[in-house]
Each structure stands twice: as structure tokens, then as C-alpha cells.
Amino acid sequence: MMQMSSFTGWNIADTGGSGAVWRIYEGQTYPLLTGFLTPLTLADVTATYNGATQSGTTTALAGILGAAASGRDAGLHSAGYYSTQQGYDIAGGNLTISPATLYYTATPASRLYGEANPIFTGTVTGFKLSDTLAAIATGTAAFDSTATSTTAVGSYAIDGSGLTLATTNYLLTQATANATALTITAAPPAAATTTTSTVTEAVAATIQAVLSPSTTDTAGTSPTTTTATTTTTTTTASTDSGSTTSTITEENTTAAPAAKPVIQTITVGNTTVQKPANEVLKVERPRGRALTCRAG
């Protein structure tokens, strides 16, 4: 007889301040006439789930029995206060616990523009007391980004997914820092590289023979040379006192023309290169570019 369902058709309520003729404290009293009760409103309490038992408003008024609202899980917890006739029509005093928040927290990552995304990782944070991921969720957390290799330089989100909560004590969302967890930076300019070929000793000897001056070459430009020519003339003359012999020596110096530079012609495949024999030829080919020859 202490349940409101037993008094169907009565003007009765199980909450305070309803204005009904009768008031019943479910499971605690028989119907009480509200005209003989003093209205009393207790403050409601709101809290966030913390893994521990929490309580609502307490009161020490005489004539009030029971206990304040209390609970551990998220949800509404009604006050446990009640009164007898000549006591109180109690309203309020309830405790509402809101869910705590769990966060997909991505590990910051970076890469160069044009590269593929690395493997993203992260954790789930925000558990209260002894709660664990295995105890309150199913599935496997995974982290990914919508950025691709052609996405412009900048900061982008790495978001978590894959979990389904098995409790109402938590909500699951993205950590604020996830929105800029991926950093894409400009790729450095491509550096020129020189290819190197490995040849056998026989091929190397052939190349050396082609690039080296021949034994008959004159290295470079020969200096100007001179040739001295000596002409001796002997003259004999007769005089009253006898004959006299005179010798005249004439030297002529002739400058010989300078030798022309010796030019080597080197043909490799369809390419012909000419160079002075006394110069070293350097052959370079940056990767992806044409063959370049220069003296050096």
C-alpha cells in the first residue's frame, strides 16, 4: 500500500509541489494530505562522471527522513528524502551526473609535400579511476587523415575512429589538438647528382688511350725556335807588297714559325669532342640531363 499504483483514480502525486491533494513517498509512506505538509524545495545537484560515488543536497531539518541522492553512474539519481504527516512536501534534491569525455588523441606527425602519409598512431585518454578501454568499449582505435600527397603545405587533422562505447558514463570525441596534428612542409629542391659508371680494365685502357695524347703529339703550343746560319767568304787581294787574304763571316738568324696546337678529336657513340692535347677533358652528366664536356 506504499506504491502510487495502488491508488489509481486518486488525486495523488509522488513528487513535491505538484498541487495534488495527496502526496505519497514511493515505498516509504501511505498517502499524505498535502494540506498538512510544509512545502520544501531542495537544490538539485549536477556533476560529471568521475568514477566515484557522488551525492546530492543534504539537509538536517527535523522531520525529514531518508538520505540525499547519490550515485556513481551517469544519469538522474532522485533524492531519498521523505517525511511523515505534519512534515514536508519535499521537492528537488536530485543528483544528475553527466558523462565524462574520452578523447581520441593523435600523435603529432609531419612529412614533406608529395610524400605519402606515414602510419598514424595515437591513444584514447580521459579514463576515470580504474576504468579501462577494454572494460568500456569494443573495437580497435585507428588514426587517419584526409590529407593526400598532393595536399598543399600546411597543418591538417589526424582523427581517430573504430571504437564503440559500451557504457553511458563516457562520450567519445576528437582531442582539440588533432585538428592540426599533421604538418606538411615544402619539399627541398632536388639536388643534381652525377652518375658513375664502372668499367672493366680493358675498357678503361681503351678510354685512356683515346683521351691521352699520342707520342707524336706536341703538348700544347711549341715556343718559337731560331736557326742560325753562318756564311764565311774569303777574299785574296794583290798589292805592291804582296798578296793579302781577308775573311768575312756573316751570321743570319731565321725565326721558325711556332708549332700549331695539337687538337685531339674524341668520338664516343654519336658525340664528337675536340680539345687541345695538353688540356684535361672533364665529362659530367647530371642525372636526367644531357652530357656536358668542359676543359679543366
pLDDT recorded at residue 197: 54
Quick: pLDDT tens for 1-33. 789 999 999 999 999 999 999 999 999 999 999
Between these two residues, 111 and 241, which has the higher pLDDT value? 111
The full set of domain ranges for the chain reads 4-98, 100-185, 261-296
Is the pLDDT reported for residue 269 higher than 70? Answer: no
Quick: pLDDT tens for 214-257. 444 444 444 454 445 444 444 444 444 454 444 444 445 555 55
Between these two residues, 48 and 246, which has the higher pLDDT value? 48
Percent over 70 (pLDDT), the chain = 65
Q: Supply 99's cell numbers.
A: 558523462
Quick: pLDDT tens for 186-214. 999 987 765 555 555 555 555 555 555 54
Pairing relationship of beta strands 292-295 and 159-165 according to DSSP bridges: unpaired
pTM value is 0.62
Mean pLDDT over each residue of the chain, to the nearest integer? 81
